[in-house]
Chains A and B, each alone.
Chain A
Amino acid sequence: MTLSFLEPTTLEEACSVLAGDEWGAKVISGGTAVVLMMRQGLIAPTTLVSLNNLEGLRGIELSSDGLRMGARTTLTGIASSAQVRSVAPSLAEACATVGNVRVRNLGTIGGNVAEADYASDPPAVLVSLDAVCTVVGPARTRLVPVADLITGFYTTSLEPGEIITAVTIPLFPDADVRYAYHRYVSGSSEDRPCVGVATAAEFDQGRVKDLRVVVGAVAPVPQRFDNIAREAIGTSLDAATRDHIASAYAAAIDPIEDARGSVWYRRRMVEVFVRKGLEGLVAP
């Protein structure tokens, strides 16, 4: 197998190579996912397009637009960022627990979203935060919510030639917002999670104004049911409300079955951890 490793210096060049060789060319960012999939025989690219030499894809910026993270910011970088910990603690938490420390040191937020691994922690949190990806292609730049970008098992809606350059989370600095991320691993501590629950709520004088609950690791894409979450609006997110939402989520989700949990078990864990996720929002 001849594999070429290219290091373009401009985005245009990178997009152009990718667009010109839809099946053979793949982006390599931190590389962990791509090299892994190559080793497992899941993909067989002939060209790897490294983003190593592109400027401006790393770094975290807080502005009126929100929290903007360059796509090549590492997961460790996000987990340890004082800014992220302050304004989006659930994302810092998720990035601090993905895989192991080696994966976090190399893995990037853009790469993580592009991989669309159903069992990875950040996507569920990003969806709960209404995160939006900046996607640059040969012809245009567009903004795509993470919820729309991840479409199935290891599948995204990225078109040929497109590269994620940033992930931005809208913020509401004047609002009373709270975030939580709960992750449950049913097996050994290093195993992939059975369930991940990301919650985010805005309160107004002790009453819920907006609530998002997103469940990951149980289905091909992060599971978010706003029609259920909306039932909390106006409540104080009391125990009865929390229990109701947790049960409704468990009933609404069609979980996968694998060694980490059967359908029955995952459904039950969805209920347990959605409840804990909501408790996490009202805990003192």
Chain B
Amino acid sequence: MTAAEMVTVAQRSIGVDYPTPDARERVVGTLRYTVDHSVEGMAYGRLVRSPYPHALIDSIDTRAAAAMDGVMAVIAGADLVESDLVPHPYFGLARRDQPPLAIGKVRYAGDPVVLVVADTDSRARAAAAMVGVDYTELPYTVDPEEAAAPGAPVIHEEWPENQCGDWALHQGDVDAAMAGATHIFEGEYVSPPANALPFEPFVAVASWGESGLEIWTATQWPSAVQRELAHMFELGIDEVRVRVLPLGGGFGAKGQVKIEPLVAAASRLTGVPVRVEFDRDEVFLTTCKHPARVRIKTGVDADGNFIARDIDLVYNAGAYAGLSPSGVAQGMLRSPGPYRIPNVRLRSRGYYTNTVPSGSFRGAMTNQPAFAYESHTDEIAGELGIDPLALRLQNALRDGDVYAGGQLMHDVHFVDLLEEVAVAIDWAEPSPPAAPGKARGKGLGVILKTAAPGTRTEARVELNSDGTIHVHTSAVDMGQGLQGTLAQMVAHHIGAPYEMVTVSDPDTAVTGFDSMTAGSRTTFASGVAIHSAIETLRRKLAGLAAHQLGVGYEDIRHVAGGAVSGTGPVLSFADILAGAGLDSLSGEGTYQSPRSPALDHPGEVRGEVSVHWHQGAVAVEVEVDRETGRIEIVRCHGAAWAGRVINPTRARQQSEGSIIFGIGPALYEEMLVIDGQVANPNMSDYMIPSIVDIPMELTSTSLESDDEEAEIHGVGEMTIPAVAPAIANAVAAAVGVRVRRLPLTAERVLRAIEGHDRD
């Protein structure tokens, strides 16, 4: 290939719809996931879980189980405490408050209590059924505000008020502004628990050897798993090796530490590799989307400007903290919405309750406030007689505006996003008349999300003498086509054909550190790290090339696939390596996002709170059946700010996949908690959208900058938070009723139409 051809090839790597390198394996079904992985000699573990939401463990009778065929161990929390092999049994990303097996008491119905390890899965199950546990039930609470009240059951001794995060932010003078406002609007919006429900379940296989612990696990966050296990077993970081295969879905649920401590401890105690795979009901019981109640009050002047906003958010953290203590801060920072509001008072709190621990979820902490503020925006528009789009355009943040907390906004495109989605559903045209008994309406939503602060990603790009390039990164592919996208970026920057680039599976012994594959950060963060790694690699190549050509370093020019000096011949990468007698050459790079000092003071957050802003909008047209209340989505368009799109089809799939993921909790999905139990931990009583539940006209736009070097923005979650309020707004437009609690079931809508409220 000539230098000119190489340049052309390189230029075509970004913005091109290359299939992922493993497209064929994925479609045929030969791709291996963690659930397919086995280790020689591995045993199988099955859990006994608490039936009670809050109870003391009085005694555990393991004799019958232990006597059964094939059973190797029956392990309870007390065994972890007593063993020297598990020095620190508690784990957790913000607070180490969660044991792999309950110690002393159980805190939610579903809390793991005993693990049976046997030589086959069915023997482990059979033995688990024979374990007897005696409990003394304790008073319990499933509501965070009840948990916050004096006299509530204490769930964790160290947190007697059940506090799990308490943050505040003030800007300007909200009370004075409200006093001077022409109009004041108030509303309360409720989001129930929902489940990310990845199809591949939580699954891990752990084994111990001379070099320490090796664990294969379906996780989005290998570095957190590594850190928590190192702490639990008092190992050096290098003694914990976490290996990750592509995930069969993650959606945040696998962006935590959940199953790994259990599997690692079981393997250490039994001395054999142990595999645990959760059943579907256990997937429901492991982690869920934060239920939340958002109270929002807005003062508006005579011209329709938002001049003051007062928001109170209460998130239900569930039985264990997870990331809630800091997560509720992120929710707070996202709660004013993408609007210019000079006076703001925000308060966000999380509380422990005796329910499934809340955790990461696609659009985490953002869905709940967005449902609130975007429903609220339409309620304001309705009262003032202003077009909901016009009201948003008037108040939307633009570059140079100041956001709550004092940050100056840059690279924001909310106006463009709104216009894009509005045009897509013919916002200016009234809906055509609906069939008798039905009504149509259109609705919008626009949202913002902060980027996770203080994250780091390392990448290493390795050039081989045969021209192939290998990228080492701990970023996890969970269906977003990450390995393909990173390969395209590498091909572009280094000037090589896409087919020559391969990307590793994460392996903490080999691939570098990555904070997590979550929060829509990876294409951006890995992109920066990779760019930096390639710059380093190019400097090394330039040095070698200069030496080989006998010229000065500064005389070397980079071209696609090689280097050249003046008008001399191009030295290809292979030439350079051969000339230096090397089989391969690597460059490393790091992306580090600043931590957010604004978050050092929970009671008074102030300053820069996000290194960049994720932005999305959705417009939807619905048809409501007036007799049943059932909502049908007629068409839907989502737009996200991408900055630069690497692979158009995949970017589109992220936006459209996000919309579909958002339709579920908007219309159908709710984990029902009755008498302290999850009543519907199965896919028949908890239904996700099917192909016939989505409109045939479901489209999206990934908006790009005209600057080729513009910052990349992840689009994995940008449209979800706008879906539920856009639908609620469309329903209001169609039938004139406002539902402020999700999901928007047919019954809720019909009750609202008839004024027959129940909630």
Contact = CB atoms under 8 A, between A and B. Distances in A.
Interface of A: 1, 184, 186-192, 259, 261-262, 264-265, 268-269, 272
14 contacts: A186-B628, A186-B630, A186-B745, A187-B687, A187-B746, A188-B689, A189-B692, A190-B692, A191-B684, A191-B687, A259-B680, A264-B756, A265-B747, A269-B628
Interface in B50-80: none
Interface residues of B, number: 25
A184 B668 contact: no
Contacts of A259: 670, 672, 680, 685
Nearest to B686: A259
B667 interface: yes
Contact of B668 (A188, A262, A264, A268): A188
A100 to B, nearest CB: 9
B680 to A, nearest CB: 6
B747 A186 contact: yes
A187 B667 CA distance: 8
B747 A261 contact: yes
Given A187-B668, A191-B684, A259-B672, 15 more contacts: A1-B126, A186-B628, A186-B746, A187-B746, A188-B668, A188-B687, A188-B690, A188-B693, A190-B693, A192-B684, A262-B758, A264-B756, A264-B758, A265-B746, A272-B627
Interface in B85-110: none
Interface in B654-688: 667-668, 670, 672, 680, 684-685, 687-688
Interface of B: 122, 126, 627-628, 630, 667-668, 670, 672, 680, 684-685, 687-690, 692-693, 745-747, 750-751, 756, 758
Contacts of A188: 667-668, 687-690, 693
Contacts of B628: 184, 186, 269, 272
Q: Which 3 A-B pairs have the closest CB atoms?
A: A188-B687, A265-B747, A186-B746
Contacts of A261: 747
A261 B670 CA distance: 14
A262 B747 contact: yes
B750 A265 contact: yes
A189 B690 contact: yes
Nearest to B691: A189
Dominant SS among interface residues on chain B = loop
B696 to A, nearest CB: 14
B659 to A, nearest CB: 15
B175 to A, nearest CB: 42
Contacts of B693: 188-190
A121 B660 CA distance: 28
Contact of B687 (A184, A190, A268): A190
Contacts of B630: 186
A192 B686 CA distance: 11
Contacts of A186: 628, 630, 745-747
B476 to A, nearest CB: 29
Nearest to A264: B756
Nearest to B663: A188
Contacts of B685: 259
A184 B689 CA distance: 17
Contacts of A192: 684
B684 A187 contact: no
Nearest to B688: A188
A268 B680 contact: no
Contacts of B690: 188-190
A177 B282 CA distance: 51
A15 B684 CA distance: 33
A192 B126 CA distance: 31
A70 B755 CA distance: 50
A38 to B, nearest CB: 13
Contacts of A265: 746-747, 750-751
Contacts of B750: 265, 268
A1 B690 CA distance: 36
A188 B122 CA distance: 34
A177 to B, nearest CB: 28
Contacts of A272: 627-628
Contacts of B122: 1
Nearest to A100: B690
Contacts of B126: 1
A238 B684 CA distance: 39
Nearest to A261: B747
B684 to A, nearest CB: 7
A1 B692 CA distance: 40
Contacts of B758: 262, 264
A186 B687 CA distance: 12
Nearest to A262: B747
A171 B688 CA distance: 41
B722 to A, nearest CB: 21
Contacts of A184: 628
A259 B685 CA distance: 8
A141 B418 CA distance: 70
A209 B523 CA distance: 70
B630 to A, nearest CB: 6
Nearest to A40: B682
A269 B751 CA distance: 12
A269 B745 CA distance: 14
Nearest to B692: A189
A181 to B, nearest CB: 17
A187 B627 contact: no
Contacts of A189: 690, 692-693
Contacts of A187: 667-668, 687, 745-746
Contacts of A268: 750
Nearest to A192: B684
A104 to B, nearest CB: 16
Contacts of B688: 188
A1 B628 CA distance: 47
Nearest to A188: B687
A190 B751 CA distance: 23
Nearest to B279: A39
B570 to A, nearest CB: 59
Contacts of A269: 628
Nearest to A186: B746
**Candidate in B630, B672, B680, B688 with the most chain A CB atoms within 10 angstroms:** B630
A268 B126 CA distance: 46
B691 to A, nearest CB: 9
A269 B625 CA distance: 12
Contacts of A191: 668, 684, 687
Contacts of B667: 187-188
Nearest to B684: A192
**Candidate in B628, B680, B751 with the most chain A CB atoms within 10 angstroms:** B628
A46 B648 CA distance: 55
A184 B693 CA distance: 14
B627 to A, nearest CB: 5
